[in-house]
Every structure is written in C-alpha cells, then in structure tokens.
Structure 1
Amino acid sequence: MKIAFITYEGSVKYTAANGFDEIQDLLPFLQSKGIDIQYEIWDNPEVDWTVYDVALLRMPWDYHQKFDEFKSWLDRIESLGIKLLNDYQIVRWNIDKHYLQQIADAGYSVIPSVFLEKDWNGEVSSLFDMLNSGQIIVKPCVSGGSRNTIKLQKESAQEDATTIRELLANGAYLAQPFMKEINEGEWSFTFFNGSYSHTILKKPKAGDFRVQQFFGGTIERIDPEQAYIDKAASYLSAFAPKTLYARVDGLMVDGKFMLMELELVEPFLYLAYHPNAPENFYQALKTQIDELEREQR
C-alpha cells in the first residue's frame, strides 16, 4: 500500500517541541514502522499520482490560497481511485466554514456566527447588534492560519466598512463575537479514528487574539476532565465519525465547551505534546491501511 504524504511548497511556521518535530519527524517515524510513504507536494505537476493507493493530507497549507486548483486536484485524485485521508466527503464539507451552521442547526454548541456571502453590502454596524457584542471577529469561510482574520470595534465600524467590502469581493466571510474566553486559552482535542489522544491549550500573547505560535501564542499540554473529552467527541460522532485524524477546537464558556472549529483537512496535530501521540497516529493509520487492504482482496 503506497501512500503519498501530502505537503506544500512553502515555509514551515511551527517549531519543534519536546524532542519531536511534527514537520520533519513524522514521515521518518512512519517509515521506520514499515509504512510505504513519501512526501509529495500536492500541486507539483511532475507527480505521477497513479503510483499511489492513498493520499494522506498533512500539510497542504496553501490550499485556501489556491482553492479552485485544490478542488480540481481533489477531483483528479478521486478519479484515479486513490483513497484520501481524511475522505473526500469530509474534506469537501470541512474546507468551507459554512459547515458550522449545520452543526449549530443540529443543536450543538457553536460560537455564534453570521455568514457574509461574497459581495455582501449590508451595514457593518448591524453585525455588532446581531451578535450582541461590541467587538467582532471577521474571517474568511475558506482560510487557514488566521489569514485575513480581523478584529473590529463597534465605535469604528463605519471606518472599517470599506475594508470589509474589499475582503468580501474575494469570497464569503463569517462574523463572530469576540470571545473574551480566548484569553484563557483555546482548547484543542485531538482524536485518531475517533479515539481520544491528547489535548493542548493555546493562548494568545498579551494584546492579541490569535493563538498561533507564529503570532506569539503559547502552547501547553493539559489533561481535561472526561466530561470535556466526551463533549468534544460528540461532535465527531455526529458529523465526522470515520476520520483518521480530527482536532476539535473551542472555548470554555461558563464552564461549558463551545465549538470554534472542527479541523478535519490539514490540522497541525501537536504530536510533540504527548509522549504517545505519534504512536497513536501510527496505529490509527495502520488500522485504516489494514482495512483498505482487506477491502481490496
């Protein structure tokens, strides 16, 4: 079973921790376990995809900047009969943040969201009332790494209107209330084949709201109560039950978990923050490979 470890041609923005570099060490780790796997840049025109049985999405981190090309690539490798991890249906659903509305409509706790479709020309000031907040976050429905994510203040809404309309000329966005709980940290629960692996807490640097390391955010491992793990798992059971990897991101609001995003396409998995995490990932991948081989017999 030959596997393509899907990455991109771009700079790496995460640093190693605890003796494990997820960017550099995961592939050799899997190869050392006997997995027939090698790096491939997803949009490299020289790749012969016909030699692969499986494409493992790990770091196609520029897909949102080449969105139409990425969708065409998905169509192409699917037409070749290549298994995608996570699968095509899940990836296509998850690459656009409109999926959050489906989760909210099903009664699950989600950060309140107002979707602004391409070329929206409503009153920016109305968003603050709709979200009952004096500060809001506006971000693209197709994005990653907080790209084009901005924080707006109600008192300067008119001045920001031009910026918002310029952004919306290029695609749909969503607006959410700024949640003060972000200062206490964003919880990321990681699961492999639906089984819980580990949790990390990401905090923004003072004066910022973005938790990514490359914006100065910090990361620490935490051990949540089982009730919180079960809550995070409930989102996957309902909406992504067969995912090889999944990260459930959210905040604790009044002691209850509230979803920010399900990360099912190309999330950083923070494998360095739990000693068993790389092995957990390998075992989950091996299970999927074994199942695929049985299907092909």
Structure 2
Amino acid sequence: MILIATCSEYPHPTPNLEALVSALKAQGMDAAYLPWKTTPLETFAAAEAALPLCCWDYYDDPGRFLAWIDALEAKGARLLNPPELLRWNFRKTYLLEMAEAGLAVPKTFHLPEANRQAIAQRMEAEGWSVAVAKPVSSQSGHGVQKIDWSNIDRWPTGEMLLQEYQHDIGALGETTMTFIDGTFSHAVRRVLKAGEWRANAQYGTTYERVTVSQDVIDTAKSYLDLLPQTPLYARVDGLVRSTGFMLMELELIDPYLYLEFAPGSADVMVRAVLQRLG
C-alpha cells in the first residue's frame, strides 16, 4: 500500500493527486490517500511508503507535523521524501544556505526575535521602503506579509525571515519546475491576479504550462545539487528573468506537482517510487 498524506480540507483528490493515484494503480499498486491529522499513525507506518504530498494544513500546528515525522521515522516507516530532507526543508532558513553557496535568492535576513524596532533598523540599513516578512515555517503563503512604513502598526513580531520585495513578481509570475528523482519533468507558470504579489491559489492565481530554457533548468537543478541526497520529488519555484533564474522557494515536503499538466509525468513519478522501494 502506498499512502499519500493529505489535509483535512481536501477529502477528495486534487487533479494532481488523482493522476498519481491512477498511475500507481495502473502499475498494480494499492494506493490511497488519508488525512495526516486524523489517521492513526500506525496506518501510515504500516504502508510500503508514505508520501506527505498534500499535508497542506501543517502551517496551523507545525510542531505537531514535525512530531508526526519523528514518530513515523521511529516506527520504521518509509517516508518519501526522507525525514532528514523534510526537516531541513521545514525551516525556510535553508534560503540562507542557498545564498551562502552563491545561488540567487532574494536578499534574506533571519530575525530570531523580531520586533518593530529590529525590522525598522534592518529596512533602514538596506534602504528598503517595502519588504516581505515570512514565518520561518509555513506553506501556501500563510502568514506572509508585505510590509512598508505605512503599516508599521501591523508588522509581525517573533521569529521570521525578512526579505527584499521583488517588484517585478506581478509581471513575471512565478515559474515552478517539477523534478522527479533529480530530473526535470515540466514547468508551470503561476500567473498572478492584477495587482497581486502572492503566487498562491487563494489569491486568484491561474496556471499555464510553459517551456523553460536549458539554462533555467540547469540553474534550478543547481539548488537541488546542494542537498545531501536526491529527493524523490521537488518543486523549484522562482522568477525567470532575462538575467537568470532566482529561487523563491524550494518545495520538498508537500508541493503540488502539477502532474495533470504534463501527460506521462505521473507514470515517471510512479517508476521513481517503485525504484525507491526496490
């Protein structure tokens, strides 16, 4: 049994998940999807493999999600991607590691105990009139804020990442590249709603399959090359500019892989799963 962990808000499969489950069953695999929060841990531990591909509600209790990963590992469960990659990707401070390696990411600062004064000092030092504040652990845009001097009374506090705002994101959209077992599969562009800066579904984003150059693919692959092991699945999200590609997020936990946009990609994913299982 291959079990895909989902969130409680999606009792039915998304097109991406439906494509994967259908491809698994076509290969003779018993496949199902169950919510991670309400399904007994033993159910996932007993599966041949558990994929946390749709755990999109962990943002409201990140500690519980980490404990779930730890408990599955302790029970000997086969988690794909592996627990060590999930934990590493869980904290967006990985962006600082990418920057230290010389790869392009938005200028980012980790503020362990941010307050208005600390944020203001950093923005003044950088000459920023606007910035983006992100929770260190979150997903699907939850808790992300665009801040400027006019909304200082609503600036967040606590641990966060403070990033340089990318003024061209509205025009460029965000390009997502799906990699399966380290190999590029397909790219989808998130087209932002007019006036919007967030590339998430709840903000009116639409999607289109796009072709990206080999240079962009190679650059996207360079972020994965920094990982200690090749992930079964990964989504590299960023901005494609004439000057090159800039990473916004590297998704190794629960990325929507857009398999329905690329015929045959679900079959490639299944073959990679089976290879991992030996």
Task: Report the TM-score, using the length of structure 2 for normalisation.
Answer: 0.91
1:254, CA displacement in angstroms? 4.6
Structure 1 residue 179 corresponds to structure 2 residue 166: yes
Structure 2 unaligned blocks of 5 or more:
none
Letter in 2 for 1:7: T
Structure 1 residue 96 corresponds to structure 2 residue 91: yes
Identity of aligned residues (%): 30
Deviations 1:258-282 (A, max 9, x none): 1111100100111122122222222
Deviations 1:26-54 (A, max 9, x none): 32332222122222221225353342232
Q: Counterparts of 2:196 and 2:73 in 1: how far apart (Å)?
A: 40
1:13, CA displacement in angstroms? 11
1:288, CA displacement in angstroms? 1.2
Aligned to 1:168: 157
Aligned to 2:255: 267
* 1:207-286 map, 5 Å: 207-239=195-227, 241-286=229-274
**How many residue pairs are counted as aligned between the two chains?**
276
Which residue among 39, 58, 62 is the counterpart of 2:57? Answer: 62
1:256, CA displacement in angstroms? 1.0
What secondary structure is seen at the aligned counterpart in 2 of 1:228?
helix
Aligned to 2:31: 37
What secondary structure is seen at the aligned counterpart in 1 of 2:79?
strand
Q: 1:286 to 1:233 in 2, by over 3 A?
A: same
Aligned to 1:194: 182
Aligned to 2:22: 28
Structure 1 residue 72 corresponds to structure 2 residue 67: yes
Aligned to 2:80: 85
Tell which deviates more after alignment, 83-92 or 254-263. 254-263
Structure 1 unaligned blocks of 5 or more:
291-297
Contact 2:178–2:184, Cα closer than 8 Å, also in 1: yes
Q: Counterparts of 1:75 and 1:216 in 2: how far apart (Å)?
A: 35
RMSD of aligned residue pairs (Cα, Å):
2.2
Structure 1 residue 133 corresponds to structure 2 residue 120: no
Q: Counterparts of 2:51 and 2:116 in 1: how far apart (Å)?
A: 40
Q: Counterparts of 2:62 and 2:118 in 1: how far apart (Å)?
A: 28
Tell which deviates more after alignment, 43-52 or 281-290. 43-52
Contact 1:128–1:134, Cα closer than 8 Å, also in 2: yes
Q: 1:11 to 1:107 in 2, by over 3 A?
A: same
Which residue among 191, 198, 202 is the counterpart of 1:203? Answer: 191
Q: Counterparts of 1:136 and 1:10 in 2: how far apart (Å)?
A: 31
Contact 1:5–1:56, Cα closer than 8 Å, also in 2: yes
1:7, CA displacement in angstroms? 1.0
Q: Counterparts of 1:87 and 1:281 in 2: how far apart (Å)?
A: 16
1:285, CA displacement in angstroms? 1.4
Q: 1:25 to 1:271 in 2, by over 3 A?
A: closer
What secondary structure is seen at the aligned counterpart in 1 of 2:168?
helix
Q: 1:55 to 1:131 in 2, by over 3 A?
A: farther
